[in-house]
Amino acid sequence: MSLYDAMFSQYGVKIAQVLVTKPDFYNEETRRNLISTLSELISLNIVPIINTNDAVSPPPQVDEPIGGRPGKRGISLKDNDSLAAMLAAEIQSDLLILMSDVDGIYSKPPWEEGAKFLHTFTSDLRHTIEYGQKSKVGTGGMDSKVNAATWALDRGVSVVICNGMQDKAIKTILSGRKVGTFFTDSSVGGSVPTEVIAENARTGGRILATITSDQRASCIHKLADLLISKQSDILDANQKDLQEATKSGLAKPLLSRLSLTPAKLRNLAVGLHQIADSSHKNVGRVLRRTKLADGLELKQITVPIGVLLVIFESRPDSLPQVAALAIASGNGLLLKGGKEAAHSNKALMELVTESLASIGATNAISLVSTREEIGDLLSMEQHIDLIIPRGSTELVRSIQSQSQHIPVMGHAEGICHVYIDKEADLQKALKIIRDSKCDYPAACNAMETLLVHENLMEGEFFSDICNMLKKEGVTINAGPVLHQMLTFGPPLAKTMKLEYGSLECCVEVVKNIDEAINHIYKYGSGHTDVIVTENNDTAESFQKRIDSACVFHNASSRFADGFRFGLGAEVGISTARIHARGPVGVEGLLTTKWVLNGTDHAAADFSEDGGRTWLHESLPLDE
């Protein structure tokens, strides 16, 4: 207690030891006195430290009735776990946290091979778990903790068993994050734990990876057909989401993304059929064949990444697109949609499940519809191989910052530029500017900054730009150079590095192509950048020097899209510099493995005395 006192005093916290004995729990008057004592200490901001007074009265060894009250029995006070459970039940605590020297409950002692961690413990698991004899510290052991936890749970106390050495464990638990093992009544909820869903995705993904390409294609074709045949059900569900979102005040750009229409569903179906028709080029495709030596052939082939977690906001049309790409690439998939699209996502997920059932891979794709914190999903590195966030800049940045162990593929921002060169066709330029900014201003591939060559400021072109944009309802902000040039012009932009995501943009003037390129280097996000010019040499120089994921000549930035690229759909757009870049279709969801076929080859055979020699001969892929 002296050590406790010294430690707590460093944080300005006062403590008091309360010693209890058997009668304090089994006698009504002393029970009332105990609860009164604890309540009084807490009201004085004094933390009570409760201990059994073993010197006065040894703890009981069998469960006994509490104060003669029918239907209630006391737990034997053998250790701190049972003491904590008894106290929690007596004072009607909301939560009991039992700390151990391990992270929580495992299916068997955690140091044994095959031990599986359980985030959730229900009563039906009680007899399926193997426990160690006792804890490495203290007297309780995990068996004792589970007994105490289930006893307290039966009396209305929520229980978490966690590792007491984890940093800020209590604060993290109280914030709602998944730490340790949470005890719950198996009759409550009935939802499948996320870990089980993820394991099912792994198993189902392996089925997708090993069936034929024709089977994967048939599954995607079926999903595309269901989007049309079940159109009325989908639109009814979507209407519910739109009504609830409108009532809650969802922003107009997000409402636009949330909305589904017959035209959108038809385009979705067309894209899915494209994915299905090209699915034979995916899993198991040979990229390289090498004859290492006589009878020893090496192949590099495409394989799925594993299990994907795709987190998306507002856009329910993402769900069938991403599902089709996962099927085509043989990946298991977890989908976490925004609550604003809950009805639409559920209706679409039913179609995905129906399609998967036709090839015996029902569990390969699941919609995580529980109230799991995204942070908990991001910590499941043993189940998830790649995270792909689709949504606002804030969502993508948040996921990228939170995920410490699972790779994240995405783009932080879509700050797309359109540069109008001095040799541009001005009518083409106006058309491309309008489409890049106004076709879908909430999209990540919409133009956010327009760069104009200074020579074009001498005629009417700048006025034509402003009049066209104003007619489309676009708010114009001026870059520093333009702002200095104009006495009465648009307001100065607060920053040149901004994704507006709406009918608003920035216009800036540059001296030449070099200044335009340097501007994009400084303020761009590596997403999509465009040059409008009739000089092919200038265009070629721009496309070589700009290192964004997409670089276009005389074409709208809105073409940075998986469907428009002929990929069928996209799982997202990546501005990363490894693996996939730009719109990510099936190819971006594949990795490779090496397959080696020999006879009796050993590495020692290629030593000076081994008798075998290296050939390293490239072989054609089609053999």
Residue 521 neighbours by CB under 8 Å, 6+ apart: none
CA 422 – CA 539 distance, rounded (Å):
12
pLDDT at 157 over 50: yes
Cα 486 to chain centroid distance, Å, stands at 46
Q: What's the burial of 558, exposed, middle or buried (CB within 10 Å: 0-12/13-18/19+)?
A: buried
- The alpha carbon dihedral of 313, 315, 316, 320 has a sign of negative
Give the model's pLDDT for residue 69. 41
Give the model's pLDDT for residue 124. 64
Token pair for 524: 């761009």
Paired residues of 52 in beta bridges: 20
pLDDT of 581-614, one tens digit each? 899 989 999 999 999 999 999 999 999 888 899 9
Domain boundaries, the chain: 2-193, 195-287+301-402, 416-584
Radius of gyration, CA atoms only, the chain? 32
More confident residue, 280 or 246: 246
pLDDT of 533-547, one tens digit each? 999 999 999 999 999
Give the model's pLDDT for residue 133. 54
Residue 126: pLDDT band by 50, 70, 90 thresholds? low
Residue 70: pLDDT band by 50, 70, 90 thresholds? very low
CA 534 – CA 426 distance, rounded (Å):
10
CA 242 – CA 245 distance, rounded (Å):
5
Q: How far is CA 170 from CA 119, 161, 285, 295, 529, in A?
A: 16, 11, 50, 61, 48
pLDDT at 257 over 80: yes
Residue 138: pLDDT band by 50, 70, 90 thresholds? very low
Backbone angles phi, psi at 525, to 5 degrees: -115, 10
**Three-class HEC string of 223-242:** HHHHHHHCHHHHHHHHHHHH
The strand ranges marked E within 285-415 are: 286-293, 296-304, 307-312, 332-337, 365-367, 386-390
Which residue is it, tokens 């925004």? 338
Give the model's pLDDT for residue 83. 85
Angle, helices 141-154 vs 80-90, to 10°: value is 10
Which among 594, 446, 598 is positioned nearest to 528, based on CA atoms? Answer: 446
**What does the DSSP assignment read for 112-149?**
STT--EESEE-GGGTTT----SS-SSSS-HHHHHHHHH
Lowest mean per-residue pLDDT among 108-117, 284-293, 361-370, 552-561: 108-117
Alpha helices in 287-317 (DSSP H): none
**What does the DSSP assignment read for 10-53?**
TTT-EEEEEEE-THHHHSHHHHHHHHHHHHHHHHTTEEEEEEE-
Q: What angle do CA 291, 296, 300 make, to 5 degrees?
A: 60
Residue 33 neighbours by CB under 8 Å, 6+ apart: 24
List of long-range contacts for 62-67, beta carbons under 8 Å, 24+ apart: 64/26, 65/26, 66/25, 66/26, 66/31, 67/26, 67/27, 67/28, 67/31
pLDDT at 137 over 50: no
Token pair for 507: 């216009």
Q: What's the burial of 482, exposed, middle or buried (CB within 10 Å: 0-12/13-18/19+)?
A: buried
Spatial contact of 594 and 302, defined as CB atoms under 8 Å apart: no
Spatial contact of 304 and 312, defined as CB atoms under 8 Å apart: no
Q: What angle do CA 293, 298, 299 make, to 5 degrees?
A: 155
Give the model's pLDDT for residue 135. 47
What superfamily does domain 416-584 belong to in CATH?
Aldehyde Dehydrogenase; Chain A, domain 2 (3.40.309.10)
Give the model's pLDDT for residue 196. 82
pLDDT of 498-519, one tens digit each? 999 899 999 999 999 999 999 9
pLDDT at 141 over 70: yes
pLDDT at 524 over 50: yes
Give the model's pLDDT for residue 403. 85
Token pair for 433: 């500017």
Residue 71: pLDDT band by 50, 70, 90 thresholds? very low
pLDDT at 108 over 50: yes
pLDDT at 358 over 70: yes
Report the mean per-residue pLDDT for the chain.
87
HSE-up of residue 94 (Cα within 13 Å, Cβ side): 2
Q: How far is CA 193 from CA 159, 197, 522, in A?
A: 17, 7, 46
For a pLDDT cut of 70, what percent of the chain falls above it? 91
Amino acid identity for residue 211 in this structure: I
Q: How many CB atoms lie within 10 A of CB 118?
A: 19
Residue 58 neighbours by CB under 8 Å, 6+ apart: none
Which among 138, 40, 151, 175 is positioned nearest to 89, based on CA atoms? Answer: 151
Give the model's pLDDT for residue 316. 94
pLDDT at 186 over 60: no
**What does the DSSP assignment read for 141-194?**
HHHHHHHHHHHHHHTT-EEEEEETTSTTHHHHHHTT---SEEE--TTS--PPPH
Which among 175, 183, 122 is positioned nearest to 157, based on CA atoms? Answer: 183
Lowest mean per-residue pLDDT among 130-144, 205-219, 315-329: 130-144
pLDDT at 478 over 80: yes
CA 239 – CA 234 distance, rounded (Å):
9
Give the model's pLDDT for residue 404. 79
CATH class of 2-193: alpha beta
Which residue is it, tokens 């002296």? 2
pLDDT of 44-56, one tens digit each? 999 999 887 765 5
pLDDT at 139 over 70: no
Query: H or E element: which one contains 427?
Result: helix 426-438
Give the model's pLDDT for residue 191. 61
Token pair for 74: 């006391």
Overall size of the chain counted in residues: 623
Which residue is it, tokens 């006792």? 134
DSSP 8-state secondary structure symbol assigned to residue 492: B
Give the model's pLDDT for residue 197. 87
Is domain 195-287+301-402 given the CATH code 3.40.605.10 in the classification? Answer: yes
pLDDT at 57 over 80: no
Query: H or E element: which one contains 531?
Result: strand 528-532
Edge-to-edge, what's the strand order for the sheet holding 158-163?
A: 95-100, 158-163, 181-183, 120-121
